[in-house]
Amino acid sequence: MPEVCYKDSAGCQILNYDYNGFLVPPFPNIQENLDKLPDMPVRDDDVLLLGYFKAGCHWMWEITGMLVNGSAEYNPESKMVAMMEYSSQDQLDQLPSPRVLNNHLLLHHLPKEIFTKKSKMIFMTRNPRDIAASAHHHTFQLKELHQYDGDWNGFFELFFEGKLNYGNWFEYMLQWEKDIKDHPELPILIVKYEDLKKDPVSNVAKVAEFLGLPKNDQLFEDIADKCTFDKMKAAKLTQLEFRTPDESLFRKGVVGDWKNWFTVSQNERFQVECDKFDKQSTLFSTKY
């Protein structure tokens, strides 16, 4: 798989791999994993978690795992063990059922059996400005992987131009919108990060109903409490998922942090693309 290194205005470069025109992270064995993914066997009780990276997938992975297991207990593993582009087929096969398999891919990358099994899928969305700010910190924290050591201004340009893992956010979301509309037979629940933040209990209940799980108000409240950002971050750190607090992929988990990063000029440029996007999209919106 060819390497693609894009440079920002300061000359700092970010490393991607090009998988048939789709930019992916430079994970070990990612080409083999992606090549095998379409033929991966799907179990009847699998749940697939979808969305652009930093849209809240770690959060929803914990919530969904608690729901399908009927217990407000944190998963002792990292989300990476169930990440379809990161883990091998053998590793995914070894996960116990029910599996919550997460990815940041497009529909045509996924196992073909989802069309016959009608696998339940949850798609996370979030304000793209907050995604950009969070993605900057994520990329910088994992600079050994991405080989990027630039600042916010440089990263903004890369994000704006789609020269990073999983490509341009606007194009990614429009492709998913097309795929969702082209395949109405697929059960896909769209969950907004901001809605989950504002009313976690109701949204946990909504996910449970979508998954066909029995109503359990006490469990929903317990899960919402356990999955508050600070508690979840602290729990994952104690599980030694990361070596130090500075390396945690859980950073702030707040709505509107982008305002601390975007310049007026950057926001104006971004808004032009948001306006174009909102005219094309009926499922998603950049208006928060």
> pTM score, two decimals?
0.93
Each residue's pLDDT tens digit in the chain (288 positions)?
A: 899 999 999 999 999 999 999 999 999 999 999 999 999 999 999 999 999 999 999 999 999 999 999 999 998 888 899 999 999 999 999 999 999 999 999 999 999 999 999 999 999 999 999 999 999 998 988 888 999 999 999 999 999 999 999 999 999 999 999 999 999 999 999 999 999 999 999 999 999 999 999 999 999 999 999 999 888 878 866 544 434 333 445 455 678 999 999 999 999 999 999 999 999 999 999 987
**Which of 64, 61, 288, 258 is CA-nearest to residue 195?**
288
Q: Indicate which residue of 104, 108, 146, 183 is catalytic.
A: 104
The number of folded domains in the chain is 1
CATH of the domain at 94: 3.40.50.300
CA dist 129 and 267 (Å) reads 9
Give residue 39's Cα distance to chain centre: 22
Look at residue 253 in the predicted model and tell me its pLDDT: 63
CA dist 124 and 103 (Å) reads 11
Residue range(s) defining the domain that contains residue 208? 3-280
How many Å is the Cα radius of gyration of the chain?
A: 18
Q: What are the structure tokens assigned to 284, written together?
A: 């998603």
109 is catalytic: no
Q: Please, are residues 47 and 123 in contact by the beta-carbon 8 Å criterion?
A: no
Asked if residue 286 belongs to a domain, the reply is no
Asked if residue 86 belongs to a domain, the reply is yes
Asked if residue 186 belongs to a domain, the reply is yes
151-188 burial, b at 16+ Cβ within 10 Å, e below that, comes to ebebbbbbbbeebbbbbbbbebbbbbbeebeeeeebeb
CA dist 52 and 57 (Å) reads 8
Give residue 182's Cα distance to chain centre: 22
Asked if residue 13 belongs to a domain, the reply is yes
Look at residue 73 in the predicted model and tell me its pLDDT: 93
Residue tagged 């080409």 (tokens)? 31
